[in-house]
Structure 1
């Protein structure tokens, strides 16, 4: 297949699917992975698609690379976040060793925690203060503080995570899609999320309904890599890829 023929085929696929992985394209086009990646780079540079981690999305898809600050996020989708937080908190059991990711929904989760024997590690500055104020044994990762999200990130945080073995982890995300998984705008923050999630026996991603079918530049986990906890699942196809929990549970 000639180069322009591959380009046309890739764009036809994206017109139908909105997102596609490199692996899917190598199979459909009967081309090598390096060839497909070169094609995606060329099409991205020409403005005909968005190249993302592991694949590509169509121009008209819900792709974003920007992020609101913590103050703005706290005012968005509050009712849904509280329902999600309540459900997530109900999953913390006796003697759990929990990783709590930075983010507004995980911060709400602390209000509903009831198991006094649980121990927490977090990269969220407000999370650490709130957990300690409630009497929980709490550890905070070292590293660089990202002011907009109040999250600790960087090499120090990633290295610190290597010694931990969590029974459960609760994570925030900016976007979820079946093709690009769980994604975030910041590569440093994404690396901390990925490193922590890999240390968890059970991982949960907390996401209100606005996060679905959204893609950001950095994927930190595949869609099958965590259970989703949400307030309302409108697109039922996600149940074909992973476990999804909805609503509140006290």
Structure 2
């Protein structure tokens, strides 16, 4: 296959799925990772896609665009892993925790499969699948019902009704965007309602958000910044964001993602 044909096929794949991984494309086309990276560079330079760590996604999101789970799963992988590692330290055996939909909360789920006697409530199909695959008989996984969104979240009246009957120790909330004025936001109106029900059911709210979420705004606000007891992000968060968040959230925790593994970078009360 000529480079031009391969790039056209890659672009079609990105547009149909929302995101691609370098490793997947290399295997599919029978070429090296480096060749795929050069293809992505060429398409990126023409403004046809956006390069991210480990792959590429579509370009030009708006406040109502809702990327699919697969598209989001290829973005900021080291940051999400570091954030999930740190968030897992907040969970104690026997706790009742909720994980909202999102790729960062899915990363956290992978770290919770070995926590004894844990009860996990989620409206995320990927999170439920990860916890179920763990196979611990002393864990309980509660999956809300509801209507499925592009990000594999279950939302709507069924989800809200299920959550309102519960009392939880911790909620780990993934968000689409963060600003001082709008707070924590999502591009899906029904998902915002379900997230608000999760916030109301939990004693503590822990927001998991990498640095790219700062300055992005979804159409619907979930809660204001001050509602977060803890926010875990990475140290690429700009100083202006650190200042604003430090003034509003209960505790701001930043982690540094390195190839040798994540470590705490900073923490403010």
Q: TM-score, normalised by structure 1?
A: 0.72
Partner of 2:13: none
CA drift of 1:143 comes to 1.4
SS across alignment from 2:204: strand
CA distance in 2, matches of 1:65, 1:194: 18
Q: In the alignment, is the contact (CA less than 8 A) between 2:121 and 2:143 conserved in 1?
A: yes
Runs of 4+ aligned structure 1 residues displaced above 3 Å come to: none
Partner of 1:188: 190
CA drift of 1:67 comes to 2.2
SS across alignment from 1:171: strand
Question: Gaps spanning 5+ residues in structure 1: where?
Answer: 1-61
Query: How do residues 76-225 of structure 1 correspond to structure 2 at under 5 angstroms?
Result: 76-113=75-112, 114-134=114-134, 135=136, 136-146=139-149, 148-225=150-227
CA drift of 1:94 comes to 2.1
Q: Does 1:236 align with 2:242?
A: yes
CA drift of 1:236 comes to 2.0
The counterpart of 1:245, out of the listed 236, 243, 253, is 253
CA drift of 1:115 comes to 1.9
CA distance in 2, matches of 1:132, 1:89: 18
Partner of 2:55: none
SS across alignment from 1:91: coil
Relative to structure 2, which stretch is displaced further, 112-121 or 210-219? 112-121
CA drift of 1:93 comes to 0.5
CA drift of 1:222 comes to 0.6
Partner of 2:18: none
Question: Gaps spanning 5+ residues in structure 2: where?
Answer: 1-60, 256-261, 265-269
CA distance in 1, matches of 2:66, 2:129: 24
CA distance in 2, matches of 1:127, 1:81: 15
Q: In the alignment, is the contact (CA less than 8 A) between 1:90 and 1:249 conserved in 2?
A: no
CA distance in 2, matches of 1:164, 1:107: 21
Q: TM-score, normalised by structure 2?
A: 0.67
CA distance in 2, matches of 1:239, 1:182: 15
CA distance in 2, matches of 1:63, 1:70: 17
CA drift of 1:249 comes to 5.7
Aligned pair count?
Answer: 188
